[in-house]
Amino acid sequence: MKHFTPHTVAGLLAAGVLLAGCGGSSPNGSSTQSATASSAKNFQQKFVAFASCMRSHGVTDYPDPQFTGSGGVRISPGQANPNTPAFKSAQADCHQLLPNGGEPVGIGGTQAKAQEVKFADCIRAHGVPNFPDPSHDGAFDLPPGLNPQAPQFSQAMHACKRVQPSSLSVNQSSAG
């Protein structure tokens, strides 16, 4: 079973940006640009098909992907809980619809995950022992009672700035 993290999507996004920017030059320029536009459209259609598949497999609140004008894509589980059996089952059934079968392309993936874990280790080493490891999507979901406004937390964040992931998402629990 594959899990799609923002890094997986970042790799897929890189492929989309590359596809969108791959226009070569033919004598009239149109056939290469047409092929590039077709490839980019196909890339986007795969994300739409994945979202539709997720909904048809029981994750009814799975959102459609969002596309940027530059050919990029943002795909997120939205309010759907990726830890539920229904989500995991739908993901297993639908992952093949994504470009490259949902596998990272070029960037992100293992390297980004390692950076996130290194950051979590640093925060813990600097006095916040219950700082969590990153979740499946690269976010840090703070446990109840961990106050990001506390001086020790702020000091640890400052001390670990050099290993902070380029995209940092810290979610504070509403409980406790």
What ranges do the domains of the chain cover?
A: 6-102, 110-172
β partners of residue 66:
74
With DSSP H G I counted as helix, E B as strand and the rest as coil, what are the percentages for the chain, rounded to 5? Answer: 50, 5, 45
pLDDT of 67 over the 80 cut = no
Count CB neighbours of 83 within 10 A: 9
Question: Could you tell me what percent of the chain has a pLDDT over 90?
Answer: 28
pLDDT band for position 151 (cuts 50, 70, 90) = very high
Find, among 57, 96, 73, the residue nearest to 18 by Cα: 73
What rounded mean pLDDT belongs to the chain?
74
pLDDT computed for residue 153 by the predictor: 94
pLDDT beyond 60 at 157? yes
The CA distances from residue 46 to 61, 75, 171, in Å, are 18, 11, 29
Separation CA 85–CA 92 (nearest Å): 11
- Between 55 and 33, name the one with better pLDDT: 55
For the ranges 21-25, 68-72, 119-123, 161-165, the lowest mean pLDDT is seen at 21-25
Q: What is the rounded distance in angstroms from the CA atom of residue 142 to the CA atom of residue 104?
A: 27
Global confidence as pTM:
0.44
